Amino acid sequence: MRADYFTIAVGNLRKRKIRSWLTMVGIFIGISTIVALISLGQGMKSAINEQFEVLGVDKVIIKPRGTFGPPGSSALTAELTTDDEEFVRNIRGVAEVTSFALANIRVEFNDQVKYYQAWSVPTGEGRRLFKEIYNFDVEEGRELEKGDKFKVVVGKGIVADDLFSPNPKVRDKIKINDEDFKVVGNWERIGNPGDDRAFAIAEDAFREIFDVPERVDFILARTEKGELPKVVADRVEKELRKFRDVEEGEEDFSISTSEELVSTFGDILTALQVVLIGIAFISLIVGGIGIMNTMYTSVLERTKEIGIMKAIGGRNSDILKIFLIEAGLLGTIGGGIGVILGYIMSKAVELYAVNVFKITFLKTYFPWYLIIGALMFSYLVGMVSGVLPARAASMQKPVEALRYE
């Protein structure tokens, strides 16, 4: 009997192909948007978690607070120094410390001028910790060494993204703030355009060239084994506040742990997904109304057919089930198309981000439960939308239905 219900419902949808397709438009637009957004959001979360797994949970990061411009610019209202770095090094629970500074630079190559950012890279004891946090692996050439005054390692974007014509390469000379530098290496593509277009200069040379003998923009610390990073971070904040002679609540620096950074990124992505998915739900509501309207029209068109079914013994429950199955099929088929479109949309965004913006960390993620959940949800939307029309069909009186023209 249930197979008969299904056969009748499918037959009715086939008779009204154009109307059925138009009815499903709202459903598959909504489902495809939701699937694409969730898959991209989950992919980004997964990529961020992978990056922070490499970073580890035993890191504490200290930076100036109250910046109104890029680190290293004149818009800074607070500044950390090498004295702060040495002070943090001696705080209980801190095993290792390093730091780096940033500067906005003028780059000239082959009579073309661009503006980017330079990093001071530790070449001594702090190199290992710096590389753990900023996992930059040299792809071609070599890393910076102590004493490399006019040498520079550049991001992959500088040598591969056609920012200059021709692209600079390893062993080329390039002017930075009117000083001649030799490119000795480039690191692998990271996926963040800012990092992929940055310049790394040895720390000692950076301080001399940019005349910043004491300033640091980030202090990076590793906690000792057995110490909780949050406890160490609170201790560093308390001690550094005393050292810099600032009141609690008026700190001119901020401290975060790698765990907090993961949580912050996750919260931001979740909030963004909720807003965008909320907008997509509007399409589903429109789709549900479309199904309801189509089913009411179908009831009117098939009034005489309903009367015949009742006259030959069809019960109210039989009529109700046929119309509910029909509405559920509209939702499910629309959901299936939406899942396929959502996959195509998210993959297109991923490919566009990689090929155009060189953002390699944007990945799609399609767990099985996302696909099943989307199909079940679209079926539910169809069923709910079909309840009132199906009930209206089942309550029709046989005699009146047979006389309906």
Q: pLDDT class for 1, splitting at 50, 70, 90?
A: low
For 231-276, the DSSP string reads HHHHHHHHHHHHHTT--TT--SEEEEEHHHHHHHHHHHHHHHHHHH
Q: pLDDT class for 70, splitting at 50, 70, 90?
A: low
Is the pTM value of this prediction over 0.85? no
pLDDT, position 131: 84
10-21 average pLDDT score: 78
pLDDT, position 314: 79
68-89 average pLDDT score: 73
Distance CA 172, CA 182 (A): 6
117-141 average pLDDT score: 87
Beta-carbon contacts of 265 under 8 Å, excluding residues fewer than 6 positions away, are 45, 48
42-64 average pLDDT score: 78
361 pLDDT exceeds 80? no
Q: pLDDT class for 100, splitting at 50, 70, 90?
A: very high
pLDDT, position 370: 86
227-231 average pLDDT score: 89
pLDDT, position 190: 81
% residues pLDDT > 70 (the chain): 92
Distance CA 66, CA 185 (A): 34
Q: What is the pLDDT of residues 259-301, one digit of tens each?
A: 777 777 777 777 877 877 787 777 778 888 888 888 888 887 7
Distance CA 259, CA 232 (A): 13
pLDDT, greater one: 119 or 259:
119
pLDDT, position 241: 94
pLDDT, position 365: 85
pLDDT, position 403: 64
Report helix angle 17-55 to 258-301, nearest 10. Answer: 170
pLDDT, greater one: 312 or 242:
242
Distance CA 323, CA 334 (A): 17
Distance CA 93, CA 84 (A): 16
Torsion sign over Cα 379, 382, 385, 390: negative
Distances (CA, A) of 52 to 62, 119, 251, 361: 17, 21, 27, 13
Q: What is the chain's mean pLDDT, rounded?
A: 85
pLDDT, position 74: 46
206-234 average pLDDT score: 91
Q: pLDDT class for 68, splitting at 50, 70, 90?
A: very low
Q: pLDDT class for 185, splitting at 50, 70, 90?
A: very high
pLDDT, greater one: 268 or 249:
249
188-193 average pLDDT score: 83
Q: Which residue type is seen at 317?
A: S
Q: How is the chain split into domains, by residue range?
A: 2-52+263-403, 57-257
